[in-house]
Amino acid sequence: MTQTQTIRPPRDVVSYVRRGSRMTDSQRRWLERHAERWSVPFQAGPRALSVAPQPALDLSALFGRQADLVLEIGCGHGETLTAAAQLHPETDFLGCEVFEPALASTLGKIAAGGLTNVRLLAGDAQGALRHLIAPDSLAQLWVFFPDPWPKTRHHKRRLVSAAFADLAASRLRLGGWLRLATDWPDYAAAMVEALDATAALTAVPAGRFSERPETKFERRAHQQGRPVQDLTYRRIDRPAPARP
Ligand SMILES: C[S@@+](CC[C@H](N)C(=O)[O-])C[C@H]1O[C@@H](n2cnc3c(N)ncnc32)[C@H](O)[C@@H]1O
């Protein structure tokens, strides 16, 4: 190393890449018109899309009522989130997503459906879960088709890990549901290994989640002959403190 080189601190591994945020005219319009009304404000961390340590969200203030909360991580273009919100007006839904055009599409669906029980969080789900969601507070946590990071050297970027399983369990209330789906068999196996090893979770043989509409990721899996696996777990016990 030359004298002018500096040693950089290791960067946190995140489960997303910063993609371009080129948007259609409609997406731009939805973002301009609706982002302020439906976005959850939070204090950003030093890294793009990261969430700084801060007090957890006041959910009653955010939604203007007390209701069960479902958090969907990586809600993409909001097909599942908005369909569920339409079907369950008695429940509140929070979508967490880092890709701005997808957030814009979700805003379009919220506005078109006149939904009042959905909010969007434009930031990294790991930090959002850790800092914005209070322990024992979620009725359900959904993770459908998380980015598979198929290359072995990228597996460390996968969202669902042992640490994630601990954190997720700690944010679910007793009896709360964790629902996941993936079309990557080795990722499904890794998820099962991490979740089965989490004492505060128990597997439920539930099959395909009926409220999950088919999105392009599932369609593509079928076209390419990859089976889709739904995994369902319930929070059963007091979780151990989340690993750092
Ligand atoms: C493969 S897509 C699936 C989208 C949607 N769940 C579906 O089934 O259509 C994965 C999504 O997760 C988002 N994502 C990945 N890592 C994330 C993170 N740490 N926090 C929030 N969103 C994330 C990506 O931007 C992407 O939109």
Average pLDDT over residues 7-13: 57
14-46: per-residue pLDDT in tens?
A: 999 877 789 999 999 999 999 999 999 999 999
Once rounded to an integer, what is the mean pLDDT over residues 135-164? 97
Give me the pLDDT at residue 91, please: 98
**pLDDT tens digits, 47-65:** 989 999 999 999 999 999 9
Query: Which of 40, 42, 75 is the best mutation target for the ligand 1 pocket, counting ligand atoms within 8 Å of the beta carbon and taking the most?
Result: 75
With CA atoms as reference, report the closest residue to 229 among 200, 172, 190.
190
**Is position 147 annotated as part of the catalytic site?**
yes
Answer whether 97's CB lies under 8 Å from 74's CB. yes
**Cα–chain center distance at 129:** 9
Site to substitute for ligand 1 among 12, 132, 159, most atoms within 8 A of C-beta: 159
CA distance 229 to 180: 8
Note the pTM of the prediction, 2 decimals: 0.93
In this prediction, what percent of the chain has a pLDDT beyond 70? Answer: 93
Average model confidence (pLDDT) for the chain? 93
For 35, 105, 172, 180, the CA distances from 32, given in Å and listed in that order, are 6, 12, 33, 32
Tokens of 189: 């196996």
Domains in the chain (CATH in brackets) are: 34-235 (3.40.50.150)
Query: At 123, is the secondary structure helix, strand, or coil?
Result: coil
Q: Which two tokens mark 156?
A: 């460390």
Q: What pLDDT, in 10s, does the model give residues 87-141?
A: 999 999 999 999 999 999 999 999 999 999 999 999 999 999 999 999 999 999 9
Active-site pick, 147, 166, 186, 237:
147
Q: What is the pLDDT of residue 196?
A: 98
Residue 152 · residue 186 · CB < 8 Å: no
* For ligand 1, atom 15: residue with the closest CA: 16
Residue type for 84, please? A
pLDDT at 7: 47
d(CA 3, ligand 1 centre) in Å: 41
177 lines ligand 1 (CB under 6 A): no
Question: What's the token pair of residue 103?
Answer: 């957030």
Q: How does pLDDT run across 163-172, given as a tens digit for each residue? A: 999 999 999 9
